[in-house]
Structure 1
């Protein structure tokens, strides 16, 4: 089992398959991806390389893999990537985080390839506000894709970044939706990155304030699975769905860390806000999963106790599209 010097065990890998995103979210990439870049990013890991990565992590006890971006659906071979992860012995759960742009036309193929869990970013249920946040008038397509995922029996979660000036007023609309819709809606605190300092200052909302309100209204916390992400989830008997809170600025956020990240170019990041990643591309390309696993085991000893977001230090993370958050 992969374990760091603080006794934390790592069951969960977040693997970016592209650093490109086709949305222009105001809290992440308001100016888009820039001109002249490939829609699959710069030399991303191939299906064969992803297979090597997954075999290495599975041998170290990883049980859950989430494919992230940027926007993973921009990869033309995404079905093959899902299948490669699903086919690896030891991996119990295959997940994707997507902006939902192409979801209705692609979710059936992802399901057939072995997808177990879907996370869709929906930062507002108001079409006009959704367009202002993301730069795209695609809310109806994202919601249609979510409906289809539920029909297929895929465990579905919806991510909404809390933004004081843009979607906080829609909190009740979100709760009304969850009353009838069997998804887990996770409210995520806006995180400061290298590119969003002014935006963060005017839009950050403490997730603990939302959490206090939920508890007061009768929501009860769900026991966290060992391969779960960082959200604290709550249920209510009157609601079909659940609500989760991801609060990276809380004092104990990093104590239960169980996840590592790898960039689309094969760099291992021990933390989303680390100063740099460790370039493992040469070992990955060689196809030796055993040697790769040994190197990962050596590197994990350097993982810090926690991030330094409270001090305004964001490491090498310019925007969340770089590693999928």
Structure 2
């Protein structure tokens, strides 16, 4: 097990199954071009082997499957079937929900019982403007079907001033009524936003602003969260729970346990670091050679973590998932 001076280690792995996406969200893709699969993406077998090795070397306990959009990947079913056999405490998936109805049997067969759905508005017109793809009702129907099948759902919303701030309460009401846990995610200074302070400042909505807005309708109180959780969680008595991933307002770097693996085989220890470490070539080596080499790379990846707070980064989120 690899531990740094602050007592942090890698517990949670987020693996980008593909860089391709059927959306082109404004805060992710500034040019509006729909994302395609990256060249030389790992095979399903190689990705599964990477997860297996990281469980052994780093002590990974939880896995989240991301993208791009993981449900568009042709590797989904084979990868999921292998991961479902591994010794992991939890396997979950983040999706935009556009293909959720169609891929629900694959997720259920793989034992997925928890998903996050990215949804920034309930207004169809605003949905088309922000997502630049897909259909809102298809997403809502997919969520309802997944819920009926026994899958727990969290909804991820990125509040943006001038785009969907008027949807904060509407989406909160919608989630509370259906038993979904809504997570508001503060805009992050990554990719094109890292170098454009004005664009970031014009759109950013803070934890304090969100709580003020929610407090106009509901009383709330802070509630428990895991020690390495990214979200500050709040309970609305008699209604339910919501959370705020307040990367800017309440940094969580001191307790971060996340490691990311891109679809092309690069490890990222920190979103705020441009460093990355290639493991793709290790996955074809004999186990006795691969594991020590992987351990050395993990030491470097853990050393990339920020000591206190996220400071922004040129890394593009669309490449390495959420």
Q: Distance in 2 between matches of 1:234 and 1:308?
A: 22
Q: Is 2:17 the partner of 1:22?
A: no
Matched residues, number = 315
The answer as to whether partners of 1:179 and 1:238 remain within 8 angstroms in 2 is no
Specify which of 92, 95, 100 is matched with residue 95 of structure 1: 92
- TM-score (norm. length: structure 2): 0.89
Q: Which runs of 5+ in 1 are unaligned?
A: none
Q: Which runs of structure 2 are paired with 1:147-166 in the superposition (5 Å)?
A: 147-166=144-163
Q: Could you say which residue in structure 2 is the equivalent of 1:13?
A: 13
Q: 1:15 to 1:301 in 2, by over 3 A?
A: closer
Deviations 1:269-319 (A, max 9, x none): 110121121111111232636335423443245233347655xx42x31x3
Q: Could you say which residue in structure 2 is the equivalent of 1:279?
A: 278
Q: Is 2:266 the partner of 1:270?
A: no
Q: Which runs of structure 2 are paired with 1:107-118 in the superposition (5 Å)?
A: 107-118=104-115
The answer as to whether partners of 1:13 and 1:261 remain within 8 angstroms in 2 is yes
The answer as to whether partners of 2:15 and 2:63 remain within 8 angstroms in 1 is yes
Q: Could you say which residue in structure 2 is the equivalent of 1:210?
A: 210
The answer as to whether partners of 1:261 and 1:269 remain within 8 angstroms in 2 is yes
Deviations 1:31-54 (A, max 9, x none): 3446xx8x4322212121112211
Structure 1 counterpart SS, 2:29: coil
Specify which of 130, 134, 157 is matched with residue 131 of structure 2: 134
Q: Distance in 2 between matches of 1:51 and 1:23?
A: 26
Deviations 1:237-291 (A, max 9, x none): 322x421101111354211211111111111111012112111111123263633
Question: Shift of residue 124 of structure 1?
Answer: 0.3
The answer as to whether partners of 2:272 and 2:306 remain within 8 angstroms in 1 is no
Q: Distance in 2 between matches of 1:287 and 1:264?
A: 21
Q: Is 2:170 the partner of 1:173?
A: yes
Question: Shift of residue 94 of structure 1?
Answer: 0.9
Question: Shift of residue 186 of structure 1?
Answer: 0.4
Q: Could you say which residue in structure 2 is the equivalent of 1:64?
A: 62
Question: Shift of residue 73 of structure 1?
Answer: 1.2
Q: Could you say which residue in structure 1 is the equivalent of 2:142?
A: 145
Q: 1:307 to 1:7 in 2, by over 3 A?
A: closer
Q: 1:81 to 1:203 in 2, by over 3 A?
A: same
Structure 1 counterpart SS, 2:191: coil
More displaced stretch, 301-310 vs 202-211: 301-310
- TM-score (norm. length: structure 1): 0.89
Q: Distance in 2 between matches of 1:8 and 1:211?
A: 30
Q: Is 2:223 the partner of 1:222?
A: yes
Q: Could you say which residue in structure 2 is the equivalent of 1:200?
A: 200
Q: Which runs of 5+ in 2 are unaligned?
A: none
Query: Cα RMSD (Å) of the superposition?
Result: 2.3
Q: Distance in 2 between matches of 1:301 and 1:64?
A: 17
Q: Distance in 1 between matches of 2:133 and 2:202?
A: 23
Structure 1 counterpart SS, 2:9: coil
